[in-house]
């Protein structure tokens, strides 16, 4: 496994989107409506229907009562206010790590606040990230299926084609990810804004069916429903949580658009539109309970049914974007925290650092989503699998947020507990309600999360063990230089450039070259590549050189995050003579052994992961005829 030689700048501050030019701010706000709120914006397609079906024990429209409708609508409205608005939009969005959000950003902030890496914060982060991936797999599947199923209301003839049409849509969606979030948001933002307006109008047009639905604004109806309906109330509560899925993606996508645009979009359009739609569905069901079959689409007149199905399908495609971009952000952070291998990361925007595309993650997600659609086939079947991963992730976010509020924001422990404990208590209740759905499909995201947690845990443990083995008995850089210059070994003409991720360390290739080849070049360069927090850098000042001794120097080459790191080109522009230079790269051949540090089953996970990590020679455009790989066989 070649050393990548990359380190990210750690001193950048979060982008100040609140003080961006008005045109840029409103463009980001519109983009966030499409990408960030696509997920939560399609919940009205199925959330109220599934909640009332659970409340009535799936007995059908005849079992609906006014108490059920008022209670469930009240629970949905207050879940949107408490979980999404107060917790995420107001509080959690404050916790950014250089503009990035998501569970692993909280881990980084918690570690920074504690002054060291703790096992519990890393474990919480890995569990949270694993559960988020489970959500990222289910959301595209359930969103697209729920919309395409609306075609059956137009004509039952479409019934056999729901799954094939859904698969074509999903494959197309993942195929366009390579064009970047900005390109996607340019189309998705206006469409989703129109979707929210249409949802608001649909709900508003039916509130007069039974104005008594406005009583659902009183939270007492929600509490009364839960108290009086026992187990059915808990099953309904698990389905109510479908209305707030997307809140974690909201936080994970913060790096793509910024805090202020996301807040403005929620308070100005998204929350009012969702509230009006749920109230409208509730009022219609109070007046016409027989419409429980599909209350969302039946808000609209018959002539508008087909256009609404088409618009809903487009909206659910956009909904999937929220978790896909969130998965890219989470994966990027996981690489920096050392819990995932370094996959190829493509920057897709000149102006927004957080807008990235990771091909490996994209295609793995697509494979899992296709498998899920084929296995479950309907949105109702998937509804049972939905929720438990998101609630688990939310609980972990609350735990990490307490540490950040206490140690990073300098709140007193009492104040941090007073603010965060109510959110945690509500989420634990939701988690318990969703746990009831494990036998019906909730096992799937738990299975995915468990598998990914084992993978992350193995990668972190394996890389630590590999570093320990590699550095065992290795001298410090000053000691190595004194030893190398004092011993009598042949001096080879030319320059040897050794890539390393740590400029203070002895590159493994340099150590092994001296140890096994017993030669030292006339000039030895210890080279580190750094990615800065700006899109592009001028050639002037890109390369800095520090002379360590007559034969050793340390060189740092810097690139902007939008630049492809062509190291030879950068060195040539800085007047390095590369005609007689060779690039030395470390290559480790890993061998599994039950007697070494990792159990044998973890060896068979870690070794393929290590081989899949990005190759330094390809990453830095090093010519094959100038690259020398110095290998070492390591039993792990």
Give the N- to C-terminal CA distance of the chain in Å, as an integer.
Answer: 13
CB 215 within 8 A of CB 293: no
**343: its two tokens:** 């996959």
**Nearest to residue 636, comparing CAs of 587, 585, 602?**
602
pLDDT reported for residue 175: 87
**444: its two tokens:** 């799937």
In angstroms, how far apart are the furthest CA atoms of the chain? 95
- Using CB atoms within 10 Å of the CB of residue 156, give its burial: 0 to 12 exposed, 13 to 18 middle, 19+ buried: exposed
Class of domain 31-445: mainly alpha
CB 390 within 8 A of CB 131: yes
Number of residues that this document lists for the chain: 636
Q: Give the global pTM.
A: 0.74
**Nearest to residue 564, comparing CAs of 326, 353, 344, 359?**
344
> Rounded distance, CA 42 to CA 246, Å?
10
CA dihedral 357, 40, 249, 192 (to 10 degrees): 30
pLDDT reported for residue 18: 45
Question: Which 3 state secondary structure label does DSSP give 498?
Answer: strand
CB 294 within 8 A of CB 50: no
Residues 288-302, buried b or exposed e (16+ Cβ, 10 A)?
ebebbebbbbbbbee
CA dist list (Å): 576 to 117, 525, 540: 39, 11, 14
DSSP conformational letter for 551: S
> Rounded distance, CA 207 to CA 264, Å?
26
pLDDT reported for residue 9: 32
Residue 474's Cα: distance from chain center in Å?
37
pLDDT digits (tens, 9 = 90+) for 312-360: 888 887 777 767 877 887 888 788 778 888 888 877 665 555 577 888 8
pLDDT digits (tens, 9 = 90+) for 585-631: 887 778 877 776 788 888 888 888 888 776 777 778 888 888 888 77
**How many Cβ atoms from other residues are within 10 Å of residue 439's Cβ?**
8
Task: Name the segment(s) of the chain with CATH classification 1.20.1740.
Answer: 31-445
> Rounded distance, CA 549 to CA 486, Å?
13
Sign, Cα dihedral of 55, 57, 59, 62:
negative
> Rounded distance, CA 219 to CA 1, Å?
57
> Rounded distance, CA 450 to CA 454, Å?
6
pLDDT reported for residue 59: 61
Q: What DSSP assignment string belongs to 151-177?
A: HHHH-GGGGGGHHHHHHHHHHHHHHGG
pLDDT reported for residue 1: 33
> Rounded distance, CA 46 to CA 117, Å?
42
CB 389 within 8 A of CB 449: yes
| E strand or H helix that includes residue 331 | helix 305-337
DSSP bridge partners of 530: 7, 558
CB 107 within 8 A of CB 403: no
Sign, Cα dihedral of 359, 365, 371, 373:
negative
| E strand or H helix that includes residue 146 | helix 119-148
**Nearest to residue 33, comparing CAs of 196, 170, 179, 181?**
196
**238: its two tokens:** 């698990």
CB 246 within 8 A of CB 45: no
Q: What DSSP assignment string belongs to 354-416?
A: T-EE-HHHHHHHHHHHHHHHHHH-SHHHHHTTSSHHHHHHHHHHHHHHHHIIIIIS---HHHH
pLDDT reported for residue 184: 62
CA dist list (Å): 358 to 181, 333, 420: 12, 12, 34
What are the mean pLDDT values of the chain's consecutive 10-residue runs (636 residues total)? 33 42 74 82 89 79 86 96 94 81 81 74 85 84 82 76 89 83 69 94 94 95 90 86 83 78 93 97 94 90 88 82 78 81 75 72 91 86 79 89 90 94 92 86 86 90 83 81 83 89 83 84 91 75 90 90 81 87 84 77 86 76 85 75
């Amino acid at each position: 496994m070649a050393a990548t030689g990359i380190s990210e700048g750690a001193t950048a501050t979060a982008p100040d989107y609140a003080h961006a030019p008005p045109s840029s701010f409103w463009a980001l706000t519109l983009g966030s409506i499409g990408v960030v709120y696509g997920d939560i914006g399609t919940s009205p397609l199925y959330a109220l229907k599934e909640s009332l079906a659970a409340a009535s024990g799936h007995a059908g429209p005849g079992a609906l009562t006014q108490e059920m409708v008022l209670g469930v609508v009240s629970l949905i409205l207050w879940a949107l206010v408490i979980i999404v608005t107060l917790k995420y939009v107001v509080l959690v969005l404050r916790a950014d790590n250089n503009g990035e959000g998501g569970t692993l950003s909280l881990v980084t902030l918690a570690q920074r606040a504690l002054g060291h890496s703790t096992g519990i914060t890393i474990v919480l982060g890995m569990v949270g990230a694993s559960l988020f991936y489970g959500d990222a797999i289910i959301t595209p599947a359930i969103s697209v299926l729920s919309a395409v199923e609306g075609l059956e209301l137009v004509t039952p003839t479409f019934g056999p084609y729901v799954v094939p049409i859904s698969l074509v849509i999903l494959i197309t969606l993942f195929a366009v990810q390579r064009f970047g979030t900005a390109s996607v948001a340019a189309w998705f933002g206006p469409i989703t804004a129109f979707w929210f307006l249409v949802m608001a109008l649909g709900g508003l047009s039916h509130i007069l069916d039974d104005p008594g639905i406005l009583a659902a604004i009183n939270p007492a109806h929600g509490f009364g429903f839960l108290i009086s309906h026992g187990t059915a109330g808990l099953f309904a509560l698990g389905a109510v949580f479908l209305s707030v899925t997307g809140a974690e993606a909201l936080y994970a996508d913060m790096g793509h658009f910024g805090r202020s645009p996301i807040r403005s979009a929620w308070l100005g359009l998204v929350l009012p539109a969702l509230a009006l739609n749920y109230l409208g569905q509730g009022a219609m069901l109070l007046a016409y309970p027989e419409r429980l079959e599909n209350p969302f689409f039946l808000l609209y007149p018959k002539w508008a049914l087909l256009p609404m199905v088409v618009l809903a399908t487009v909206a659910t495609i956009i909904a999937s974007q929220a978790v896909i971009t969130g998965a890219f952000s989470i994966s990027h952070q996981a690489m920096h925290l050392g819990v995932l291998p370094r996959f190829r990361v493509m920057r897709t925007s000149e102006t927004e650092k957080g807008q990235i595309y990771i091909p490996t993650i994209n295609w793995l997600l697509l494979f899992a989503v296709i498998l899920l659609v084929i296995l479950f086939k309907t949105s109702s079947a998937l509804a049972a699998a939905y929720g438990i991963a998101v609630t688990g992730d939310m609980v972990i976010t609350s735990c990490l947020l307490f540490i950040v509020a206490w140690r990073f924001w300098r709140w007193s422990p009492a104040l941090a507990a007073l603010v965060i404990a109510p959110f945690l208590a509500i989420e634990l209740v939701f988690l318990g309600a969703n746990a009831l759905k494990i036998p019906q499909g909730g096992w799937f995201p738990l299975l995915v999360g468990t598998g990914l947690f084992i993978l992350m845990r193995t990668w972190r443990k394996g890389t630590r063990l590999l570093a320990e083995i590699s550095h065992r008995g290795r001298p410090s850089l000053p000691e190595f230089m004194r030893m190398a210059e004092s011993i009598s070994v042949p001096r080879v003409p030319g320059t040897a450039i050794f890539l390393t991720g740590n400029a203070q360390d002895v590159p493994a290739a340099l150590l092994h070259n001296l140890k096994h080849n017993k030669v030292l070049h006339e000039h030895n360069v210890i080279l580190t590549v750094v990615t800065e927090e700006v899109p592009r850098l001028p050639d002037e000042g890109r390369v800095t050189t520090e002379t360590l001794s007559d034969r050793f120097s340390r060189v740092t080459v810097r690139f902007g995050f939008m630049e492809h790191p062509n190291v030879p080109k950068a060195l040539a522009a800085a007047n390095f003579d590369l005609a007689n230079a060779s690039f030395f790269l470390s290559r480790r051949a890993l061998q599994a052994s039950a007697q070494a540090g990792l159990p044998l089953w973890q060896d068979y996970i870690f070794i393929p992961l290590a081989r899949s990590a990005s190759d330094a020679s390809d990453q830095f455009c090093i010519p094959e005829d100038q690259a020398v790989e110095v290998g070492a066989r390591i039993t792990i």
